[in-house]
Structure 1
Amino acid sequence: MQDFARASALNGFDTLTAEYGLSYTELLRDVGLPENILDNLQGFVSYRAFLEVLQLGASRSGDPLFGLTLGLRQGVSIFGPILYLLNNARTVGDALRELEQYFHLHMGAARVEISRYGDRMQLVYRVLDPTQPGLSQGAELALGVGSKLLQTLMGDNWTPHPMLLEHAPQAPLQAYRNLLGVSPQFDSDTTALLLKPEELDFPLSQADPVLHQLIRQHLDNMQRLTDLELPGYVSNLLRDLLPQGRVTVDQVAECMAMSRRTLQRRLNDSGTTFQTVLNETRQKMAQRYLRDSHLQVTQLSDLLGYSDLSAFSRAFTRWFGVPPSRWADVRSSASKV
């Protein structure tokens, strides 16, 4: 499964947790996410860890609608460059169809689909792995964001839209009405926002065809990185993923919405391999942390995604000729010569 989301999916998490008297860094740390993940909202987080931290926030705050509240506050800001594309589409329907096409750039673990639902249209949020815990918090966050998106696109034409949720209510219905203006329909067969078919034809006042085309080209280029750019992009992706556990070529390929074979072929065309990029990224990260931090070697081994300390020590000795425990002393001696 493509188990990733952009860190922007947690935008505002620090502010909301502070209102409940909670430490957001403690919550992130407790689910295994880097404490500075919010410093780079275009980075990546594990979707499983994303759900875990939402669930933990709901539990420790005592607010069962924690995810929904966060989603409503985030609104469209989480979409980054995709938002500019949507705002410059011709109609609401065009914007939602482009969200469907490019949503995987924001979140690989879920899909957004626009389709018919009886006499209505539905904007569906579908998680690729429905077995993960915490899906209710993630689904309500998504509907909060979706509601704000429709409000942004439709402007004066917007009214609260019917919503479907696959889970049972997590709070009294009045609490949902207070936040959303409507009570969702629970225990449904899907998670979605419902629209009238004619609403898809509403024109967007901000539409700029030229700007729309430029942004579309930019997003297409994000999906078709040049061979020269690809190793650097993979290295940046590895820096985000390694602290969350061991990283495989399959996981990276899924994050980039391409097959393993395609990623390996394109890296070969650029004159390198996945293993080479992985080793070089780990080397640079190891040097930087040993130079600029007070991390223990065991912590560094975990941060670089190694299964155990001995595997890291062997790799480090192969790279630099000395074990990590001696690297600082050897470097200090060399600087005095």
Structure 2
Amino acid sequence: MASNPFIRALSLAGFDQFARSQGLDPNRMLRQASLPVASLHRPEDILSFQHYCGLLELCQQGSNNPLFGLEFGLYQGVDVFGDIFFLIHNTRTVGDALFELRANFSLYNGSAQIDLEVVDGVAVLSYQIDETTMAGLSQAEELACGVGMQLMRTLVGDQWQPEAVMLRHSPHADEFVYRKTLGITPTFSAAHTGLLFDACVLTQPLDCASEALHQLIAQHLSGMERLSADEMPGYVGQLLRNLLPSGRATIDRVADCMALNPRTLQRRLEQKNTSFQQLLDETRQQLVRNYLQVPTISLTQMAHQLGYADVSTFSRAFNRWFSVSPLEWCRQSGLRRQPLLFQNRLKDRP
């Protein structure tokens, strides 16, 4: 596995529509792959790359389409890059755009790398990952080639074709099926997955380039965390925020979402001088401060959103964190709330 096993939920761009076009129920497929259905609408979410590859494998089997990943990548095109596309599209040349993509790819995918090399007048745009045996990985690599081809056609022109498409694995279908889909027969069992093309394309200017817009988007993306192994506590916090309302914010559930063993997760958190319980408490404290700013949210609703079974348990936790009751905390903070919303606290008090 690569050093960081995560990918943004942006990788699911268009999945709902494409899966349905293949006769699949997208929500069912996501659940089977242990991916949260809600991530379809939260592109900033962090997902397990292993589970994502597993999703593609399940979809390939369920649709009986051996080129599911490739066709999905062609369908997604540049949508899969989100704001990163607007960053690279506002550089001066095609080459600048691809180098910008290489530099910022870790905002989107922590498990793979994009590289661009020029050898004897031939450019090689490659998708590199250390893993070789993960289920569904070949589907993900074909997807990357499909996305890469659509990216190049967006930058260069609709009729652009590579000189070669390289895939690390053996073909999933007859080669003529690949040729019909891509317009070219890939080179299989290659050293790397990627596209080969004439390097002169790299100097082609981008007509809509705007330096001002490029700087603006770069500033916006600078606040976005890269998918780095050092950010493990942040990933756990994000998953907790997503899982708490369902009452399933356990270490087993979070570890499953990350495709990790719970002990491995706890060990990695200890290496960052924290623990699952500490992150759970910190996440709940951050959320409850936000909830208390909204005068129309009742304690019952807060308890539910924080994953507590009842108000009494929530109130005891609140007192442990802040040494005061929620009502007293609001008074001390100068927040005015509707008194009736606190009656639930009295009803549920043991």
Which amino acid is 1:136 matched to? S
In 2 relative to 1, CA 186–289 (structure 1 residues): closer, same or farther, beyond 3 Å?
Answer: farther
Q: Percent identity?
A: 38
- Taking structure 1 as the reference length, the TM-score comes to 0.74
1:165–1:61: structure 2 CA closer, same or farther, 3 Å change rule? same
What CA distance in whole angstroms lies between the structure 2 residues aligned with 1:292 and 1:8?
25
Q: How many Å separate the matches in 2 of 1:75 and 1:234?
A: 30
What is the correspondence of 1:1-337 to structure 2 with a 5 Å cutoff?
1-117=3-119, 119-155=121-157, 158-223=160-225, 235-236=237-238, 238-239=240-241, 242=254, 244=257, 246=262, 248=265, 276-281=278-283, 291=304, 319=317, 334-335=346-347
TM-score under structure 2 length normalisation: 0.71
Instruction: Output the amino acid matched with 1:191.
Output: T
Distance 1:273 1:17, change over 3 A: closer
Q: After TM superposition, which residue ranges in structure 1, 4 or more long, deviate above 6 angstroms?
A: 231-234, 249-253, 272-275, 287-290, 315-318
Shift of 1:234: 7.1
Matched letter for residue 257 of structure 2: Q
Checking the alignment, whether the CA contact within 8 Å between 1:160 and 1:181 is kept in structure 2 is no
Which string of whole-angstrom CA distances, capped at 9 and with x for unpartnered residues, describes residues 74-129 of structure 1? Answer: 00011111101111011111110011100000011111011135541111101243
Q: How big is the shift at 1:45?
A: 0.9
Shift of 1:153: 0.6
Amino acid at match of 2:104: Y
Cα pair distance change 1:35/1:147, threshold 3 Å: same
* Letter in structure 2 aligned against 1:194: L
- The letter of the residue matching 2:53 is L
Q: 1:91 to 1:275 in 2, by over 3 A?
A: farther
Q: What CA deviation, in whole Å up to 9, does each residue of 1:40-91 have, x standing for no partner? A: 1121110000000100000011000001111101000111111011110111
Hey, what's the Cα distance between the residues in 2 that align with 1:81 and 1:155? 21
1:226-285 deviations in Å (ceiling 9; x for gaps): xxxxx98873365359371558488789xxxxxx76xx7xxxxxxx99864442225759
For 1:194 and 1:64, the matched residues in 2 are separated by 24
Amino acid at match of 2:167: L
Contact 1:154–1:202 (CA under 8 A) maintained in structure 2: yes
Q: Structure 2 CA distance, aligned partners of 1:288 and 1:332?
A: 10
Task: Check 1:218–1:128 CA distance in 2 against 1; reply closer, same or farther (3 A cut).
Answer: farther
Q: For the residues of structure 2 that align with 1:291 and 1:217, how far apart are their CA atoms?
A: 37
What is the distance in 1 between the residues matched to 2:187 and 2:52? 25
Aligned partners of 1:249 and 1:202: how far apart in 2?
Answer: 50
Residues 209, 190 of structure 1: CA spacing in aligned structure 2 closer, same or farther, 3 A cutoff?
same
Based on CA coordinates, which of the two structures has the bigger radius of gyration? 2
Structure 2 CA distance for partners of 1:148 and 1:55, relative to 1, 3 Å = same
- Residues in 1 aligned to 2:131 and 2:221: alpha-carbon distance in whole angstroms: 26
Q: Compute the RMSD of aligned alpha carbons.
A: 3.7
Q: When the two structures are aligned, how many residues end up with a matched partner?
A: 290
Secondary structure of the residue aligned to 2:189 is coil
Distance in 2 (CA, whole Å) between partners of 1:123 and 1:205 is 22
* Cα distance in structure 2, aligned partners of 1:99 and 1:296: 43
* Closer, same or farther: CA 180–250 of 1 in aligned 2, 3 Å: farther
User: 1:2, 1:251 within 8 Å by CA — same for their partners in 2?
Assistant: no
How far residue 130 of structure 1 moved from its aligned partner, in angstroms, is 3.0
CA contact (8 A) 1:68 1:143 kept: yes
Q: Structure 1: how far apart are the matches of 2:24 and 2:275?
A: 43
Q: Which stretches in structure 2 are left out of the alignment for 5+ residues?
A: 227-232, 243-252, 289-299, 321-342
Please give the alpha-carbon distance, in whole angstroms, between the structure 2 residues aligned to 1:296 and 1:232: 22
- Structure 1 gaps of 5+ residues are 225-230, 254-259, 265-271, 298-314, 323-330
Give the 3-state SS of the residue equivalent to 2:157 in structure 1. helix
2:269/2:276 contact within 8 Å kept: no
Whole-angstrom distance in 2 between the partners of 1:72 and 1:252: 38
Distance of 2:75 and 2:106 partners within structure 1: 22
Give 2:340's aligned residue: none
Q: Deviations over 1:279-323 (max 9, x none)?
A: 2225759x8796269x998xxxxxxxxxxxxxxxxx99984699x
Q: Work out the CA distance in 2 between the residues paired with 1:162 and 1:43.
A: 34
